[in-house]
């Protein structure tokens, strides 16, 4: 499978996981040069029309969803008998792993995660797509701290006829009561699951636990969750009320849209408490008193912690987010058989509900109380009124009211006339008078974190709102660099001050990633705010294969965020190419050397050999690496001085004591040596030696020795 290219474009590389109906590979988009995740349907399902239709539906549904908080689906198709989906390759860690490692998370961080998930769900719901499997394993925390919702593998359009077995899909710890009972599902089903995700994030544990899926599913239908603050006293009451409203048993009692939930979480993060209380005012009563640690109360595993930007934890250490997701999909497949039993829960749950209702009518002896109206009372009067009914005073907040004078209660939660169990705590808001009744001095927020800025504004009765980030080379990124109202100026209490966070100087230095592996280098480049161009691969004698040789722009150079950086990754030392060696025996040395150089070789004359001779042997024949040295052996020529036939005594080769000779002619290949004055003609191959004055003619191959004067 590793050599397969799907759709003529997507190169399938190493396998990173397998699930119930698909296998996931790391791949390469050969057109854009980027790493992708490729999900292919298992062969046994590819020929099943119903599974093929489901796979196609998943791809079409997911590809239509465009959000920074949803994993991107780039492409999908069919190649021969293989159905495939091409997705964004994620880096980071899943939320479940983060909770396992750190325990309960900080309330602000949980609200930020929840608001991003709500925005992702809002996009899906507007396309009539219900995710149906929202859980921490499907929430990936990216290196920049933002999240991505993944795995729309069991998502379906609201009116789709596919996957009718609603009750067996999803995970028991996070499914809604209506999903457990096999009822029709709407957007509020995802909101319920998101409530459980936030519950787990602030407490470190799921609200309903059991030995098997059926037990957990029945608890989803029948049992009320413990308020998160009983498990983690640090949970903010406002966030607790938001979570519990998401987890109401009746869909009608929850937030009705993901947008509504997002706006409420946004208000909570901005410190607009009144807006949060209004959004949760219809929440049915829950005991909110913080019990002392004891039986039935399980504390958060490690208090609260902030979610890290980048973590690889537990058995997923060293894996990318896509690889984690693939492994988790395989885990889901292993549990599939066990979860099938949820298919019968609809009937079982209905019977259980009837029994519970009957017991409630006939045998419930919990003392109930009616919450009085506290509006217009002072704090002391409210305490007395609540105590008379067996209720307790809860959290006290202060705000501005045009209708109630300073010191009087103008809002309460739960609301008046609600029937609640005795011991329920009632939270109140006490008026500070009309919002324009007084002015306050605007504090200096420079260099504060958003949390500290909000806190400092609240201390003087002002509200805070985060504006668009601004470049500021003097203020650390993420801290306040500017504000809408000058520090020290006077404005009315209750007004909103907008603060602006620094995005840094706008330029960053390109990190030095030389000698780091490609994935690590790519991650560091992206974390620094740069974009990655397609990786280039080059030969290097000094850098190990797979590691970065250099980048362009070079390390240390300052450039605008978003600038494209190219990684040059080593292929290791270049292996010389083997090519044919020309056969140059019988060539003159100069011709032989030229022929070898033309083919990229290096000719070497053997020691003691003459460049004037012809090549009689070469050290290498056949093939050799380009640039190899070829040693040539030559034979010294036997005729070193040409005979001219002239009588000039000063000419070389003429004895001044002899009589002048008649010019002769030498024809053919002659390897003999002629000494003295020669006036004869030598024809053919001659290997003998002629000495003295010769004026005859020698024809043919001569092997003898001629001495003296020849007259034949």
Per-residue pLDDT of 556-572, as tens digits, reads 887 877 889 999 999 98
Higher pLDDT, 428 or 575: 428
Averaged over 149-153, what is the pLDDT? 72
pLDDT of residue 94: 84
In this structure, are 22 and 55 located in the same domain?
yes
DSSP for 305-366, written as a single string: BPPPSS---GGGTT--HHHHHHHHHHHHHHHHHHHGGGGGHHHHHHHHHHHHHHHHHHH---
Of 475-479, 527-531, 654-658, least confident by mean pLDDT is 654-658
The yes-or-no verdict on residue 329 having pLDDT over 70 is no
What tokens does 441 get? 């001095």
In a domain, 533, yes or no: yes
Give the highest mean pLDDT range of 105-114, 135-144, 486-495. 105-114
- Of 1, 115, 129, nearest to 68 by C-alpha is 115
Range of the domain at 32: 5-289
Cβ atoms of 629 and 653 within 8 Å: the answer is: no
In this structure, are 68 and 114 located in the same domain?
yes
pLDDT of residue 365: 46
In a domain, 270, yes or no: yes
In this structure, are 75 and 130 located in the same domain?
yes
Question: What confidence tier does 647 reach under pLDDT thresholds 50, 70, 90?
Answer: very low
Give the highest mean pLDDT range of 160-164, 269-273, 287-291. 269-273
The yes-or-no verdict on residue 49 having pLDDT over 50 is yes
The yes-or-no verdict on residue 177 having pLDDT over 90 is yes
Per-residue pLDDT of 686-698, as tens digits, reads 444 444 444 444 4
pLDDT of residue 344: 46
Last residue of a domain, one of 431, 455, 487: 431
CA dist list (Å): 421 to 64, 243, 285, 486: 47, 20, 8, 50
pLDDT of residue 705: 43
Asked if residue 39 belongs to a known ligand binding site, the reply is: yes
Annotated catalytic residue: which of 29, 133, 190, 472? 133
Question: Where is 496: in which H helix or E strand?
Answer: strand 496-501
Q: How many domains does the chain divide into? A: 6
Last residue of a domain, one of 289, 311, 333: 289
pLDDT of residue 631: 95
Report the CATH number that the domain containing residue 546 is assigned in CATH. Answer: 3.30.10.20
Question: What confidence tier does 181 reach under pLDDT thresholds 50, 70, 90?
Answer: confident
Higher pLDDT, 280 or 619: 619
Task: State whether residue 559 is helix, strand or coil.
Answer: strand
pLDDT of residue 453: 92
Annotation marks residue 144 as catalytic = no
What tokens does 571 get? 């292929």
State what percent of residues in the chain have pLDDT above 70.
Answer: 72
Cβ atoms of 167 and 183 within 8 Å: the answer is: no
In a domain, 519, yes or no: yes
In this structure, are 655 and 622 located in the same domain?
no
Give the highest mean pLDDT range of 11-25, 58-72, 404-418, 509-523. 509-523
Sign of CA dihedral 46, 51, 57, 59: negative
CA dist list (Å): 133 to 54, 168, 181, 343: 16, 11, 15, 16
403: alpha, beta or left? (left if phi > 0; alpha if psi -120 to 50): alpha
The yes-or-no verdict on residue 343 having pLDDT over 90 is no
Averaged over 380-389, what is the pLDDT? 89
In this structure, are 513 and 495 located in the same domain?
no
- Start-to-end Cα distance in the chain: 88
Higher pLDDT, 496 or 227: 227
Averaged over 86-99, what is the pLDDT? 85
How many angstroms separate the most distant Cα atoms in the chain? 159
Q: At what angle do helices 187-203 and 237-246 cross, to 10 degrees?
A: 140
In a domain, 168, yes or no: yes
In this structure, are 591 and 513 located in the same domain?
no
pLDDT of residue 435: 59
Question: Where is 12: in which H helix or E strand?
Answer: strand 10-18
Report the CATH number that the domain containing residue 114 is assigned in CATH. Answer: 1.10.510.10
Of 18-27, 555-564, 640-649, least confident by mean pLDDT is 640-649
Averaged over 503-517, what is the pLDDT? 83
Question: What confidence tier does 415 reach under pLDDT thresholds 50, 70, 90?
Answer: confident
pLDDT of residue 304: 36
d(Cα 166, Cα 176) in Å, to the nearest integer? Answer: 11
Question: What confidence tier does 53 reach under pLDDT thresholds 50, 70, 90?
Answer: confident
In this structure, are 497 and 511 located in the same domain?
no
The yes-or-no verdict on residue 362 having pLDDT over 60 is no
State what percent of residues in the chain have pLDDT above 90.
Answer: 30
Higher pLDDT, 685 or 201: 201
Sign of CA dihedral 654, 658, 660, 662: negative
Q: Which residues, in sequence order, are bridge partners of residue 691?
A: 675, 707
φ/ψ of residue 191, rounded to 5: -65, -40
In a domain, 302, yes or no: no
- Beta-carbon-side half-sphere exposure of residue 261 (alpha carbons within 13 Å): 35
Question: What confidence tier does 327 reach under pLDDT thresholds 50, 70, 90?
Answer: low
User: Omega of the bond prior to 650 within 30 degrees of 0, cis?
Assistant: no
In this structure, are 660 and 703 located in the same domain?
yes
Give the highest mean pLDDT range of 310-324, 328-342, 358-372, 690-704. 358-372
pTM of the model: 0.43
Average model confidence (pLDDT) for the chain?
Answer: 76
Per-residue pLDDT of 560-604, as tens digits, reads 778 899 999 999 887 777 889 999 999 999 999 999 999 889 999
The yes-or-no verdict on residue 437 having pLDDT over 70 is no
In this structure, are 130 and 217 located in the same domain?
yes
Question: What confidence tier does 676 reach under pLDDT thresholds 50, 70, 90?
Answer: very low
């Amino acid at each position: 499978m590793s050599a397969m290219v799907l759709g003529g474009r997507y190169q399938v590389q190493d396998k990173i996981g397998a699930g119930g109906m698909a296998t996931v590979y790391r791949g390469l988009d050969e057109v854009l040069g980027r790493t992708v995740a490729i999900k292919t349907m298992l062969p046994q399902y590819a020929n099943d029309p119903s599974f093929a239709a489901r796979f196609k539906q998943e791809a079409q549904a997911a590809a239509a969803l465009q959000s920074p908080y949803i994993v991107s689906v780039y492409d999908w198709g069919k190649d021969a008998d293989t159905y495939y989906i091409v997705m964004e390759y994620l880096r980071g860690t899943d939320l479940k792993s983060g909770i396992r490692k750190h325990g309960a998370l900080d309330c602000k961080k949980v609200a930020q995660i929840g608001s991003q998930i709500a925005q992702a769900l809002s996009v899906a719901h507007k396309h009539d797509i219900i995710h149906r499997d929202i859980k921490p394993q499907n929430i990936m925390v990216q290196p920049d701290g933002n999240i991505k919702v993944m795995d729309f593998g069991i998502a379906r359009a609201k009116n789709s006829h596919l996957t009718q077995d609603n009750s067996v899909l999803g995970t028991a710890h996070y499914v809604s009561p209506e999903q457990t009972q096999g009822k029709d599902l709407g957007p509020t089903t995802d909101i319920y699951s998101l409530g459980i995700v936030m519950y787990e994030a602030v407490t470190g544990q799921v609200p309903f636990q059991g030995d098997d899926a059926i037990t957990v599913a029945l608890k989803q239908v029948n049992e009320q969750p413990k308020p998160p603050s009983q498990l983690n006293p640090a949970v903010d009451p406002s966030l607790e009320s938001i979570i519990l409203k998401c987890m109401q048993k009746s869909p009608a009692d929850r937030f009705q849209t993901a947008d509504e939930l997002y706006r409420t979480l946004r208000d909570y993060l901005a410190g607009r408490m009144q807006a949060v209380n209004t959004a949760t005012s219809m929440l049915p009563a829950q005991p909110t008193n913080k019990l002392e640690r004891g039986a039935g109360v399980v504390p958060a595993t490690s208090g609260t912690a902030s979610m890290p930007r980048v973590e690889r934890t537990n058995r997923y250490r060293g894996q990318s987010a896509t690889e984690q997701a693939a492994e988790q999909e395989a885990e889901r497949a292993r549990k599939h058989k066990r979860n099938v039993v949820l298919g019968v829960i609809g009937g079982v749950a209905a019977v259980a509900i009837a029994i519970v209702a009957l017991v409630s009518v006939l045998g419930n002896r919990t003392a109930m109380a009616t919450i009085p109206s506290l509006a217009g009372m002072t704090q002391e009067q409210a305490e007395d009124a609540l105590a008379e009914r067996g209720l307790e005073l809860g959290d006290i907040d202060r705000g501005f009211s045009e209708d109630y004078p300073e010191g009087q209660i103008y809002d309460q939660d739960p609301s008046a006339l609600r029937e609640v169990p005795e011991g329920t705590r009632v939270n109140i808001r006490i008026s500070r008078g009309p919002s324009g009744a007084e002015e306050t001095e605007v504090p200096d927020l420079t260099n504060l974190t958003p949390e500290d800025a909000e806190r400092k504004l609240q201390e003087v009765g002002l509200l805070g709102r985060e504006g668009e980030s601004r470049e500021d080379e003097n203020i650390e990124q993420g801290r306040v660099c500017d504000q809408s109202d000058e520090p020290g100026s006077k404005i009315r209490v209750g007004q909103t001050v907008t603060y602006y966070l620094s995005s840094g100087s706008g330029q960053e230095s390109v990190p030095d990633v030389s000698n780091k592996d490609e994935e690590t280098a790519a991650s560091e480049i992206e974390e620094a705010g740069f974009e990655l161009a397609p990786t280039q691969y080059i030969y290097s004698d000094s850098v190990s294969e797979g590691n970065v040789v250099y980048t362009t722009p070079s390390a240390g150079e300052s450039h605008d965020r978003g600038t494209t950086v190219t990684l040059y990754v080593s292929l290791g030392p270049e292996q010389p190419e083997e090519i044919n060696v020309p056969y140059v025996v019988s060539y003159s040395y100069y011709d032989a050397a030229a022929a070898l150089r033309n083919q990229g070789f290096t000719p070497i004359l053997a020691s003691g050999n003459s460049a004037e001779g012809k090549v009689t042997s070469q050290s290498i024949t056949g093939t050799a690496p380009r640039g190899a040295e070829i040693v040539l052996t030559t034979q010294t020529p036997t005729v070193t001085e040409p005979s001219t036939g002239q009588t000039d005594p000063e000419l070389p080769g003429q004895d001044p004591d002899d009589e002048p000779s008649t010019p002769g002619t030498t024809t053919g290949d002659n390897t003999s040596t002629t000494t003295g004055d020669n006036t004869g003609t030598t024809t053919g191959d001659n290997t003998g030696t002629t000495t003295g004055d010769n004026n005859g003619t020698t024809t043919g191959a001569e092997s003898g020795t001629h001495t003296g004067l020849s007259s034949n």
